[in-house]
Structure 1
Amino acid sequence: MKVWIEFTYKTPKGLESKFSSDVLSAELALSIANDIQKTGRLKNIHFVDTKETTWSMKELNKLLSAVETEPHNITMYFDGGFDNETFESGLGCAIYYEKNGKALRLRINQKTNNLDNNNEAEYAALYFGLIQLENLGVHHLPVQFIGDSQVVINQLLGEWPCMEEVLNKWADRVEDKMKQLGISPEYELVSRKKNQEADQLASQALNNIEIESTIELEQKN
């Protein structure tokens, strides 16, 4: 969850000025706010999330305590591959998240033969990833989706029109699942090189190598 801090600072002589921070993770924002609050010169401190909902320190602390045991701080890399000779598709997803104070990564892929082209495979990979988020119990949280498909990312951002009926149906299917799970999506388009992990999973699926593994990652200080 991303928020920014808004507060009023009062000097010893009674002068006041309002300040607003950069956008931060909720955990970091609370830590900074607690540190600043030790000066004893803050007034009206609160937090605003990306939906412009305002939170008090007590409310934000309560929220973070509640989500600590559920998946949060989620980033999903997705990619779809399509074989023009066999008309088979490979779907790959790498999902990074935190739960119970641990940093985790789920890698999973799937092979399918009911798609017609690469763009469909890319949409199917994103939807396949949403099913994995649903299985993890993700709900009512922001999620960052990272892929190398200009078509999928730009269409879902509303920057490109979706003229093909089959892709329009996929876009509706993706957005309906997002609404069902209460997910607030953040999309990022990257190069294929920066999406190598998901690309490899999709390629392995095409080669009949099934992957499904979750590991704990070393957390950065």
Structure 2
Amino acid sequence: NRGPAAVGWAIVSSDGVVAEGGEEIGHRTNNQAEYEALLRALRAARDLGLDEIDVRGDSQLVVKQLRGEWNTNDPELKELRVTARELLREFDRWDVEHVPREINERADDLANEALDDR
């Protein structure tokens, strides 16, 4: 179901947070919002000139779809997945891993702050 949505993302290195963002994105499904957060993080990583990236996301659906383990019939999710894969190909090396929500707490906080600010 679509509802008010926001995204949060963070790029973290061994030195700490390199970049982060959060913003309201209108009405989306939860899965669409998860993909939108990923796309923003990938674009930021690319713009920072990073060559390698390890994506850690708490959406099992997004992680498994990116890995090709799950498919989707939803045309909007298909389009988001194609865009994400195109962005990932711009990196010399990338990996996608599912992590518990507690590990992604900063990204969730940024999304919640963006929703609270509207």
Q: For the superposition of Structure 1 and Structure 2, which TM-score range results when normalised by the shorter chain? A: 0.7 to 0.9
- Aligned twin of 2:44: 132
State how far apart, in whole Å, the 1-side matches of 2:10 and 2:105 are. Answer: 10
Higher relative contact order (CA 8 A, sep 6+): 2
Offset from partner CA, 1:64-83 (integer Å, 9 cap, x none): xxxxxxxxxxxxxxxxxx9x
TM value normalised by structure 1: 0.49
Q: In structure 2, what residue type is equivalent to 1:120?
A: Q
- Aligned twin of 1:122: 34
- Aligned twin of 2:24: 111
State how far apart, in whole Å, the 1-side matches of 2:21 and 2:28 are. Answer: 22
Q: In structure 1, what residue type is equivalent to 2:93?
A: S
- Aligned twin of 1:204: 113
1:193 aligns with 2:102: yes
- Aligned twin of 2:83: 173
State how far apart, in whole Å, the 2-side matches of 1:178 and 1:155 are. Answer: 13
Alpha-carbon contact 2:53-2:91 (below 8 Å) kept: no
Offset from partner CA, 1:73-114 (integer Å, 9 cap, x none): xxxxxxxxx9x5xx322111111126xxxx24122212111x
Which structure shows the higher strand fraction? 1
1:158 aligns with 2:44: no
State how far apart, in whole Å, the 1-side matches of 2:63 and 2:12 are. Answer: 19
Residue segments in structure 2 that go unaligned for 5+ positions in a row: none
Q: In structure 2, what residue type is equivalent to 1:131?
A: R
| Alignment map for 1:1-150 (pairs within 5 Å) | 87-97=3-13, 103-105=15-17, 106-113=19-26, 115-138=27-50, 141-150=51-60
State how far apart, in whole Å, the 2-side matches of 1:95 and 1:182 are. Answer: 15
State how far apart, in whole Å, the 2-side matches of 1:92 and 1:170 are. Answer: 16
Q: Structure 2 vs 1, CA of residues 148 and 112 (structure 1 numbering), >3 Å: closer, same or farther?
A: same
State how far apart, in whole Å, the 1-side matches of 2:39 and 2:48 are. Answer: 14
State how far apart, in whole Å, the 1-side matches of 2:92 and 2:25 are. Answer: 26
TM value normalised by structure 2: 0.87
Alpha-carbon RMSD: 1.9
State how far apart, in whole Å, the 2-side matches of 1:184 and 1:132 are. Answer: 16
State how far apart, in whole Å, the 2-side matches of 1:183 and 1:88 are. Answer: 35
Q: Which has the larger radius of gyration?
A: 1
